[in-house]
A and B are shown apart, each in its own frame.
Chain A
Amino acid sequence: MFELLREGAPLFFNLSALALTIFGVVAGLVIGVLPGLGPLMGIVLMLPVAFHLPPIAGMGMLIAIYVGGSAGGSISAILLRIPGTPLAAATLFDGYPLAQKGRSQDAIGLSITASALGGLISGLILLFFSPILAAFALRFAPPEYAAMALLGLLTIAIVSEGSAIKGLIAGGFGLVLATVGTDEFTNAYRFTFGNFNLTSGPNLVAVVVGLFALSELFFQIEKGDFLARPQIQKLKTSFRALRLILRHKFNLVRSALVGTFFGAIPGAGGDISAFISYAVAKRMARPNERYGEGEEGGVVATEAANNGTCGGALIPSLSLGIPGDASTAVLLGALFLLGFFPGPELFRYNPDVAGGIFIAYLMSNVVMLILGIVLVPFFGAVLKVPKAWLLPAVLLLSTMGVYALQNSVFNLWVMLFFGVLGYTMRKAHYPLSPIIIGMILGPVLENNFRRALLLSRDGPMIFVERPISAAILGIVAVMLVYVVWTTVRPAMAEPDKAA
């Protein structure tokens, strides 16, 4: 555990990596504060920049955005009753009423402090469990990898918002996208339609930016209110929350553990963990604590949990190469494109990189604890920036970021295509994340599937003859039964509708 930190320290502790981590935390908080945007959007916007940086500096910046973005949404939830991100939805319950009592300063301070400390607790768990899980995964051969990739994709497709069928369609489409380009085994061109720009497949970043950023811009324009400036209470820097949070230490640790646990389950996400953590805190509250009416503990529970989810989501991502949510999927994509393969190989062959990523995650939370509180007045000012300024800036940054990946206008057309597709899918209530997870897990699944068949003397039986692979596929089977049940049951329950 400490060996990894020792190896990663030289990669992280230099001026550029530290400066980019600070930048990432502030940028993440700003993006999280702005309603409609969120950590994923922040990572997506800065992804192209990260590819021009040294690996740990680039990954450090993206992870810092992930951490800051996951916490920033609470500020607008507390001040405006509009969660900046879905992660902060549960913070509304007590954050906004607390602000209405004239304690917005305390509410924001507590949310930032709980987020940072929750993130640090989950970081320690990440540090402890990831190497253990990675060491276990060293026993994996192609059948296990293929089964694991299938399980990861299926979990996210099923748990994502919307119906499981739509999640599965999106995940399947992601797998199809992953097959576009040159086949690794035969060097044949698949589904390139004679276009040489597609010989390496559609660029992952262009797809991500299109699906998430471009479609969001379209939605934001449709919402209107381009010049609106909300009225916000005057804010100043105060470290009082560091003292206040000591009253909630058990709540903090418990909520961080709940967040970490749910983060480690692919697809569960920070919003789910925040709601569950809030429910647990409410149930365990003292008689004089009135949750829902501006209770400090409510803010601590939700924020410690949703930032605890970040560390939790990084556990399967780094140790198994199975992303925990859409943001970690994009982080994994960044790691791939920077030349490193998440999973046991990362810990075996690049322990310095794994250690550097851990340090980046822990340091991001430390930086957030300080800067998140110091910059509170600045975040209040950010909330007053009208959309008429923000939307063109986001469009420009997305466009040039995607162009800069390969100096390619073709990638911009790919981005536009996926922007339109993303808009259509969101209108039709399809989840977008499974597409990205499918694109990332596609090569892992296909290559190991074909390798396993090559190794096998009984064809596909190899997948059930090996105990670990069989166990994973057993879980897959249970999940598929669940999908069939949830799809068929409404039809049986409402025969009049079905008629």
Chain B
Amino acid sequence: MARLKSHAWDVVAWVFFAAVPLVIFYQAATNLAEQGVASGGPLENAAVFPRIIAWILAGLAVVNILRILMGLVTAPSPLSTTPTTRLALTATLLFVVYLVALPYVGYHLLTPVLLTILMRLLGLGWIASIVAALGFSLGVAAVFEGLLNVVLPVGFAEIAVFG
């Protein structure tokens, strides 16, 4: 148990990578079989290559968990935190909210808000944060909308400053 604690990130990564071959085998047996491409010669069998990789990954996953359990993974990876880990999580959560709201609210309304909050969280003053957030947002929009003709998300207000 102590070994699993000291290698917690290794275990998290192992769970993810061990699940990959299982998904491949399952998909090959269901979805690809239903499409009629899970058997036959090299041209008509779309599952042959993923299956080979899945077997290799499964083998590597077994070796890796044995290495973790036997204490052969020398570099520890505990779930340690720093004084600013909570800040990093908050920033990530903010970014998730930003992604959810982006298509509805639009780039020009939402981005300055996100950047202002982020800069405030990172320790800049209100005025500096607001001015920099507006400057960065407009600068990036000028490059993408103005120079590269990209349509940034316009949102409900349908704002495109440089488009």
Please, which residues of chain A bring their CB within 8 A of the CB of B103? 409
B70 touches A498 (CB 8 A): yes
Q: Is B67 an interface residue (CB 8 A)?
A: yes
The answer to whether residues A176 and B99 also contact, given A224-B82, A395-B118 and a CB cut-off of 8 A, is no
B150 touches A395 (CB 8 A): no
Measured between alpha carbons, how far is A404 from B147 in the docked complex, in Å?
12
Q: Is A254 an interface residue (CB 8 A)?
A: no
Mark interface residues in A464-496 (1 if CB within 8 Å of B CB, else 0).
000000000000000000000001001100100
Give the bracket for the number of chain B residues in contact with chain A. Answer: 35 or more
Closest to A499 in B: B70
Q: How far is the CB of A374 from chain B (nearest CB, A)?
A: 25
Measured between alpha carbons, how far is A491 from B111 in the docked complex, in Å?
52
Among B9, B99, B122, the residue within 8 A (CB) of A387 is: B122
Q: Is A19 an interface residue (CB 8 A)?
A: no
A:116-171 near B, CB below 8 Å: 162-163, 165-166, 168-169
The answer to whether residues A424 and B13 also contact, given A186-B44, A396-B111 and a CB cut-off of 8 A, is yes
Measured between alpha carbons, how far is A497 from B102 in the docked complex, in Å?
52
B119 touches A388 (CB 8 A): yes
Chain A interface, DSSP helix/strand/loop, else mixed: helix
Q: Is A429 an interface residue (CB 8 A)?
A: yes
Q: Is A234 an interface residue (CB 8 A)?
A: no
B49 touches A179 (CB 8 A): yes
A409 touches B72 (CB 8 A): no
Q: Is A284 an interface residue (CB 8 A)?
A: no
B:10-28 near A, CB below 8 Å: 10, 12-14, 16-17, 20, 23-24, 27
Please, which residues of chain B bring their CB within 8 A of the CB of A227? 122-124
Number of interface residues of A (CB under 8 A): 66
Mark interface residues in B104-126 (1 if CB within 8 Å of A CB, else 0).
00010001000100110011100
B12 touches A400 (CB 8 A): no
Q: Is B159 an interface residue (CB 8 A)?
A: no
Measured between alpha carbons, how far is A96 from B124 in the docked complex, in Å?
31
The answer to whether residues A427 and B9 also contact, given A172-B53, A224-B84, A490-B72 and a CB cut-off of 8 A, is yes
Measured between alpha carbons, how far is A190 from B37 in the docked complex, in Å?
10
A450 touches B49 (CB 8 A): yes
Q: Is A413 an interface residue (CB 8 A)?
A: yes
A226 touches B122 (CB 8 A): yes
B99 touches A412 (CB 8 A): yes
Among A183, A191, A387, the residue within 8 A (CB) of B27 is: A191
A222 touches B85 (CB 8 A): yes
Q: Is A416 an interface residue (CB 8 A)?
A: yes
Q: B interface vs A, CB < 8 Å?
A: 7, 9-10, 12-14, 16-17, 20, 23-24, 27, 31-32, 35, 37, 41-44, 46-50, 53-54, 56-57, 60-61, 63-64, 67, 70-73, 75, 77, 82-85, 87-88, 91-92, 95-96, 99, 102-103, 107, 111, 115, 118-119, 122-124, 132-133, 136-137, 140, 143-144, 148-153
